Homo-oligomer: A and B are copies of this chain.
Amino acid sequence: MVSKEKDLMEWFSEILKNAELYDYGNYPIKGCGSWLPNGFLLRDKVTSILRELLNETGHKEVLLPLLITREMLEKEAKHIAGFLGQVYWVTKGGEDKLEMELALRPTSETAMAVIFKNFLLSYRDLPLKVYQIVSIFRYETKTTHPMIRVREVNTFKEAFTFSATKEESLEMVKEAYDIYCRFFDKLGIPYITVERPSWDRFPGAEISIAFDTILPDGKSLQIGSIHYLAQNFSKVFDGKFMRRDGSYDYYHMNSYGISERSIAALLIHFGDDIGAIIPPNLAPLQIVIVPIIYESLKNEILDYSKKVHEIIQLAGYKAILDDREDKTPGEKFYEWERLGVPLRIEIGPREIKEQKLFFAERTGNKKHIPLNELFKQIKISFSNIEIQLKNKARNDMFNKIISVDKLASIDEILRNKKVAKFGICEKEECGKTIDKMLTGASFLGYDFMLKSIGNCIVCNSKTERIGYVAKTY
């Protein structure tokens, strides 16, 4: 297997394959991946966390059509301009040429506007927060990577809000921001949040905030984004509501999305050169029990192992007893490690004699624990593994962000596979100056949360804002 250090995307493809999480490359269409049973369970866990966060904040799940007419897409001029090169078009039904070309949804602002205008007639119907988890399509001409740059984004959670005022819409931007922070924190994925510059916003948005994670190769990956769409879509789709005073106005909309890139990010941050590492809170399989058979004690060891397996399962953990006879313990260890199972429990003669268990945490720690502390020790190990993974990812990522105060230094930082951080003022020309001097990298925008007094790296004026430059996926 190629090392993580040497070729991150190649390594990622291999861990997906070895852990049978996601098929990529066996399908005859570029950029189309498949969730295999193991991977689907992980995907299910991740989407459940997201659903829970959305449901408990009043978001309602819906499911809208996948096909979008060309006319709908063209209504909002910037929107279509931003997507036109990337849209897949259905032009034939059976042997008939269709009267109107139909797009595979690149995103659903237009469909949402068309449907919900029929239900949002009065101020009483507002605000509304809805979401769906669906496939979206992009005709990617660049190199594709599993889950990261695909033609069918098959796990896209897209949320939309409709509200009476700009103020309320911006409050909901904050709510979405808070939800996404909690989501990525639960997954243990480190991130920075950045307000994208005006020329890099979502097509049709007036504000775009992105969650970016810096991967171990120093490249930034956008894993979530939140957009204030103002009245841009409601105006062109005639989305009007009646105010309390009887007058009419167009509602304000937001949209915000998270895709399977979030799952890619956690697998990439946590995995190692052996294979995947899935944190216990997300793992479809949390514990594997491997009996270390000595022929003379075979029955005792197996019975003891079965008993341990049973009580662990009764306590609600997802555990498996690997009592296959045609594999050596070493082969089993390797297999379960590649799959990313966070905790292995080994049981051999010594463990039986001493009424102990041997714990091997996937993150490296190994120890004997007394049988009567089993549940306490599982909790400790799980907590250790989660904290270790999270902290390591966080430290690794923030160590890659290097503060600079000269434009000339940016290039070297990028060459060293790092991200540059600097003071920048809000004048568009300063951001554009940086963006123009870069090749193969981007000005990510302005940190959304952090402020720090300093000088603009371009014009040297006083500023509190912080900017980033990174290579990006």
Contact = CB atoms under 8 A, between A and B. Distances in A.
Contact of A28 (B23, B43, B60, B71): B71
B34 A93 contact: no
A77 interface: no
Q: A interface, how many residues as a size bin?
A: 35 or more
A23 B114 CA distance: 11
A107 B26 CA distance: 19
A69 to B, nearest CB: 5
A135 interface: yes
A35 B65 CA distance: 9
B69 A28 contact: yes
Contacts of A29: 65, 67, 69, 102
A111 B23 CA distance: 12
A273 interface: no
A408 interface: no
Contacts of A89: 90-93
Contacts of A102: 29, 88
Interface string A3-40: 00000000000000000100100111100111111001
Contacts of A155: 63
A32 to B, nearest CB: 4
A301 to B, nearest CB: 24
Interface string A41-60: 10110000000000000001
B35 A67 contact: no
Nearest to A61: B40
A112 to B, nearest CB: 9
A93 B62 CA distance: 28
B23 A115 contact: yes
Interface string A425-441: 00000000000000000
A63 B34 contact: yes
A40 B63 contact: yes
A64 B139 CA distance: 18
Contacts of A93: 86-89, 139
Given A61-B40, A63-B43, A139-B94, A26 B115 contact: yes
Contacts of A40: 60-63
Contact of A114 (B27, B72, B86, B152): B27
Interface in A149-180: 151-152, 154-155
A42 to B, nearest CB: 12
Contacts of A34: 62-65, 111, 115
A233 to B, nearest CB: 15
A375 interface: no
A28 B62 contact: no
A133 to B, nearest CB: 11
Contacts of A66: 32, 135, 152, 154
Contacts of A96: 139
A19 to B, nearest CB: 13
Nearest to A28: B69
15 contacts: A26-B114, A28-B69, A28-B114, A32-B66, A36-B62, A37-B60, A37-B62, A44-B61, A63-B155, A65-B152, A65-B154, A88-B92, A89-B93, A104-B104, A135-B135
Interface of A: 20, 23, 26-29, 32-37, 40-41, 43-44, 60-67, 69, 71-72, 84-96, 101-102, 104, 111, 114-115, 118-119, 130, 135, 139, 141, 151-152, 154-155
